[in-house]
Amino acid sequence: MEEGIQTALDNANISWKNEAEKRIFWLLKHKKHFTSEDVLDYLDALKIKTHNNRALGGVFRYFNKHGFIKPYGYTQAVRSSRHKAPIRVWESTVFKEENEVI
């Protein structure tokens, strides 16, 4: 599984990857908890696609490895493509209450 995520990340559309990273940086500062759906919804709104959304796992892995986020728990997916499967909730380690955007 890890190898598949890395391969997807290595082959991801560079604009998609850059925008995903920018959105996670924004979420880090403005939301204490967030999921991959918060990032994918943003990318969908920009109409930026990549061949395999599993690449987002590699982006989240980078932020986790460098201490910007940590696993918080799970929630039920909202996106229809995920069929209400459990998805990871991430907690920002740099969030400050006064920056929260709802």
SS3 assignment, position 74: strand
How many Cβ atoms sit within 10 Å of the Cβ of residue 66?
A: 9
Angle between helices 55-65 and 2-10 (to 10 degrees): 100
Q: Where are the domains of the chain?
A: 2-94
Averaged pLDDT score across all residues of the chain: 91
CATH assignment, 2-94:
1.10.10.10
Q: What is the pLDDT of residues 41-86, one digit of tens each?
A: 999 999 999 999 889 999 999 999 999 999 999 999 988 777 789 9
The pLDDT value given to residue 84 = 83
The answer to whether 17 touches 59, Cβ cutoff 8 Å, is yes
How many Cβ atoms sit within 10 Å of the Cβ of residue 39?
A: 23
pTM of the model: 0.85
CA distance 7 to 91: 25
